Structure 1
């Protein structure tokens, strides 16, 4: 596959997920609106995929599942989407961030727009860059300690049955639809910085990405450079969205690597850069870009498939509970639609 086609394929996958997230976000808004109006607004079924925006709930459910073997029924999709993101990162570097995450796609769109406007992207000096990159690890460490060590199983059971947890997805939506001034200012600042600096949120602030980085260190997939074929043009390092010095690396071991194949797509040396996978007892094998992407998507959607066929996809919160928790006018006497 030619370089430009690799990038077009990635953009197609990224923007498909972004548009899908916008679609389910709008459907979820209509779903919530139905209950907030006491059933006056038309009923729209709740899209379980919105639980992809509940990584903390997914992490808690994952711990609960590992310790008890039980899948909590309130937000089961959060668990499967969390496991899907981890699995993709385990096998395909930070492939979830580089191919699927809608926040990453928005961030990418901003710095690409900035590059077109200013003719370049800027880079923070090393003495600023390194300390800032520690922020996401500190945030990740906080959640790992709190959920992984401090919160016990009995505490999670009690939390799972609270009204707060039942509508935590609604609260997450309200965080953005009814955001505070401080939140708005923060998002504007991050957005403006993202125009001039590549992937500000992903590189410095995202604790979810930090967790997936640690997982990706175990990945058998890795970009490798053939010294003999390399013409030292520097295109790979110039265009890397993670700011990795690919040109001077025999293999890209950095946890920041998105596995996005951007460096491969810009490589001017025939066969100089390839995505490879290390197979036990068989050594290192190169992987064609299209096979890499197809395999990544298969792994991700396999978790969605399993969740659906085992009836662990839709929320266990009933229509009556949603009406009680969300109604601003009180429930109506209308017949209750059946939730999927």
Structure 2
């Protein structure tokens, strides 16, 4: 007796569909339709690719940090000049965006800074998110005294001005950690970043733990800790992922802010966008002169601060657009 082809297909001739993969494909289709968010993601990826290239193959820049640019630049000695050089095509791509203090070229300085800014940002947010999600989900699921203690601790963290807390923690840590590095700032920001994710995860865990699929898992013999890590935590991660993407931009801004106010991360010549802004800002009050004739070519030397600021602004806007788009497609209430 021959089996009908349609019956065979229905009984297993076709591959079983993967609900998780289908949901991912649907989510990406919705995200791509949000064009401004998709553009933000492309710009963000370009920044991270530049940072990754510098981390894997640093020789492509010909420099590793700003101090090496002082003494040696692409095989040529660099001497301090009376004023920064304006953007020019003379001398190769190094000088396309001009120079800043000590005749340091701005373009390779910005490219070199992305590795440290984005790498540190990714590390801080990842550690803070991992710690906060675990603590917040456990507190929200178990409730009671544990939940109360965790929430009061987060209240203490949120009651202190963020930047002041970050500086204080970094100063304390700098006493026991090696000088000339950014480890103290990275640890300080990680310590004060986890409460954001603890509160977010706790709020979602309170809702998810009362859903029927969690109750069904408990009835079938699943332990409470298994419920936390297998059934509750994975459903918390969609909201966490959106916050994660937005925080990457926030950390870069905080790094820049700390360096701009003079709290040098890793030293005066550390390749960091905020440091470039800091060493470039005094030139805003200086006119750009023709050193031979004394003629005023521009009322201000703007490029040492404006150009790094534009790179920082573009990244911040791009990653916020991407985060908003992710929130729209990952939150069922906001899906169109």
Common fold, TM-score beyond 0.5? no
1 or 2 for the larger relative contact order (CA 8 Å, sep ≥6)?
A: 1
> Which has the higher Rg, Structure 1 or Structure 2?
2
Normalized per residue, the structure richer in helix is: 2
Instruction: Give the structure-1-normalised TM-score.
Output: 0.29
Normalised TM-score (structure 2): 0.29
